[in-house]
Chains A and B, each alone.
Chain A
Amino acid sequence: MRDVAIVSFASAPNRRTDLRNEVEILMPVVQEAVARSGIARPFDFTCSGSSDFLQGTPFAFVIALDAAGAWPPIAESHVEMDGAWALYEAWVKIQAGQAETALVYAFGKSSPGDLPEVLATQLDPYLVAPLWPDSVSLAALQARAWLEKTGNSERDLAAIAVRSRRDAKANPNATLSGDFEIAKLLAEPYVAAPLRAHDCSPSCDGAVAVVLAAGDRARGVCKRPAWIRGIDHRIEPHALGMRDLTVSSSTRIAGEKAGVGNGAVDLAELHAPFTHQEAILREALGLGAGVAVNPSGGALTANPMMAAGLARIGEAASRIWDGSARRAIAHATSGPCLQQNLVCVLEGE
């Protein structure tokens, strides 16, 4: 495998409602990531992640080319997935020797719709979607199963939310942050039992961009590149009845293939849109108590749909660059109840 590193990352502020359109949100983010990378355009490859269903129009990604810059024409591709998978496609291109540098971006604007309802259209169109089970209700089924199996309590879940929101105070792009008391959070009503508002990620608008470079190109522009030592992704059956929702087998496999266990882990940025999912992911990746999880505040404080997974990779890379971590794990998820998961292992030199 070739040495490939993340050398730059930028994120838009994750507001609940950003009145700018997708191109307006994305353009400054791409420009910032490109400027920080120190790599001049054109990139050998560009790849993005987004979803038509958020924008409510076909070919929603097409207009984003105006933000990315595609003149003269560029080598470019798009996945209808979280941007973390766009990063994977770019990494593959570099591995195949077809590129040395790549720009990866993702964007999602959830505010025009009701995101949990929109996500119901991801479900089996014949047997499940007609019932319109929203994403929060499905996550609640998973949370209930997990609580009953592990003996953990709703208080344990609230503690995850309190920690995330406290950590997010240092993240200027977080949708929400601050100091909260567990007792007060537990006094709030359920959204879908056993989940309360603090257990669920806030819906928001956002965009992120990342620049990748191979070998000496990365060393030439970045003092301490965040090297991708392993990256893998796996999917599980879609039918919820086919899965044990209390564990994440696809995360476990992806973690093993990416080599999570090959060394000590300093921190992990886990894409957990719900509190209980952080606990499930921690277990699937075998992360001990000493691992700092989601120092950025994680998806519980900023979850731009289609971009939050790529943001995890960017946040983890940031901590390699500043020397606060030597080895970091980044994770992205997609689909109902953690159906599909990607794991990336980053290291400083």
Chain B
Amino acid sequence: MARLCAVAGIGQTQYSARRDDVSIAGLLREAATRALEDAGMDWPDIEAVVVGKAPDMFEGVMMPELYLADALGCSGKPMLRVHTAGSVGGSTAIVAASLVQAGIHERVLTVSFEKQSESNAMWALTVKTPLQASVVAGAGGYFAPLVRAYMNRSGAPDDTGIRVALKDRRNALKNPYAHLRDPNMSFDTIASSPMLWDPIRLHEACPSSDGACALVLTSERSVRKTKYAPAWIHATSMRSEPTQFAGQEKVNPQSGRDCAKDVYKKAGISDPRKQIDMAEIYVPFSWFEPMWMENLGFAPVGEGWKMTYEGATALDGDMPVNCSGGVLSSNPIGASGMIRFAEAAMQVRGQAGEHQVDGARIALGHAYGGGSQFFSMWIVGSAKP
């Protein structure tokens, strides 16, 4: 049977548009060193390393984990590299956790990253391959029609997305690592920002960031006494579906619904809105908050926008979402999923500082990728499952 796995250490880098002060390896070490310190450990304590990132073309290095082996202290150790599109940060944490749960390793370091300043992610995502439909003008171009479809179906007020963006950007002011921290951001600034991919405005879209996130995952007996007690992994799940086929539901994808159902079942959750204290979910464009609220079962279909509108997803709401500022405030793509997982764990550890949700005991970390087709989730708790 699977062993318990603890999130014993968490490290994040400063996120920004361009981290010229560090190499790719330096970026990962910044996160990894902080995670080790948080776990009360040092490099020799680590038995295996799992690296995750989105497409290698973002940095122009093929399978960069090979080059990163030296900087991550991997000599003579096992190293894995995960890539599951935008959900990769979450999937990477899940692969690392399974090494502990299977009883293969005691202490695993997992790091995910993106140094997007090495390239232009939007155009890297727009490559036209023979015989494949091009996603056209980056992720925003792909997702805008899905947002429009959601607006039409749900009848949500047009300013719902602006309200999500305002909440997340304000939350980011409480997160010292966040990339976008503009104290003057207001409803009007967002509403009057240029329309990039109708109906998505500039300030309703995620930035391109450099950054890395790291976790130290351990077995129960390997947890060390540190300032913060560990978070315990209660359940993990991953689901994938094909990119496109006739009749496919893209606004409320089945892979996301299945993944949520599976992770709740494993964690013994029957009423997610009541039993889960907060959620860090992957919202690269503001409207995905209400869309995922429905997909995750926090709101009935067609009513996710009401949670935003009524303030339920605010830091002081009954279902706080993305208290860190979320992907809308920091988006080193390959790391973004792991940051969600990490922030969920920080909340149940009581480690989230100014953006801490009082008394958070059960939290959801969520990531998605590709054309809303790859999902990874975990439920973490302050108590053992």
Contact = CB atoms under 8 A, between A and B. Distances in A.
Given A58-B55, A95-B103, A81 B61 contact: no
Interface in B225-274: 237-243, 245, 254-255, 258-259
A73 B239 CA distance: 6
Contact of A72 (B79, B83, B129, B258): B258
B137 interface: no
Given A65-B242, A335-B66, A80 B76 contact: no
Interface size bracket, A side: 35 or more
A335 B74 CA distance: 14
Given A73-B254, A77-B84, A97-B1, A340 B79 contact: yes
Interface stretch (A154-162, A235-243, A278-286, A318-326): A235-243
Given A73-B254, A238-B70, A339-B69, A334 B242 contact: no
Interface in B50-80: 54-70, 74-80
11 contacts: A57-B57, A62-B243, A62-B370, A63-B243, A66-B243, A77-B82, A78-B82, A78-B84, A122-B63, A125-B64, A335-B63
Interface of A: 21, 46, 51-53, 55-59, 61-63, 65-66, 70-81, 85, 88-89, 92-93, 95-98, 118-119, 121-126, 129, 232-239, 242, 249-250, 253, 334-336, 339-340
B238 A75 contact: yes
Interface size bracket, B side: 35 or more
Contacts of A56: 127, 129
B127 A57 contact: yes
Nearest to B75: A237
A59 B76 CA distance: 30
B104 interface: yes
A117 B101 CA distance: 40
A253 B61 CA distance: 27
Contacts of A70: 240-242
Given A77-B91, A233-B78, A236-B75, A122 B62 contact: yes
B70 A125 contact: no
A121 B61 contact: yes
B23 interface: yes
A125 B69 contact: no
B133 to A, nearest CB: 10
A308 to B, nearest CB: 15
Given A77-B95, A122-B61, A234 B78 contact: yes
B82 A80 contact: yes
A78 B53 CA distance: 11
Contacts of B76: 234-236, 249-250, 253
A249 B102 CA distance: 26
Interface in B101-156: 101-104, 124-125, 127, 129-132
A65 to B, nearest CB: 5
Nearest to B84: A78
Given A56-B127, A72-B254, A125-B67, A235 B62 contact: no
B62 A121 contact: yes
A235 B238 contact: no
B306 interface: no
Contacts of B64: 125
B103 A125 contact: no
Contacts of A242: 70, 75
Nearest to A252: B76
B258 A73 contact: yes
A92 B82 contact: no
Nearest to B52: A80
Contact of A125 (B59, B83, B240): B59
B81 A80 contact: yes
A81 B23 contact: no
A238 B95 contact: no
B63 A80 contact: yes
B243 A65 contact: yes
A287 B36 CA distance: 39
Contact of A57 (B78, B103, B129): B129
B24 interface: yes
A78 B98 CA distance: 15
B50 to A, nearest CB: 10
A80 B112 CA distance: 13
B112 to A, nearest CB: 12
A78 B69 CA distance: 20
Nearest to A249: B76
B240 A74 contact: yes
Contacts of A235: 66, 69, 74-79
B70 A239 contact: yes
Contacts of A98: 2, 98, 101
B99 interface: yes
Contacts of B23: 126
B85 interface: yes
A52 B56 contact: yes
B71 to A, nearest CB: 9
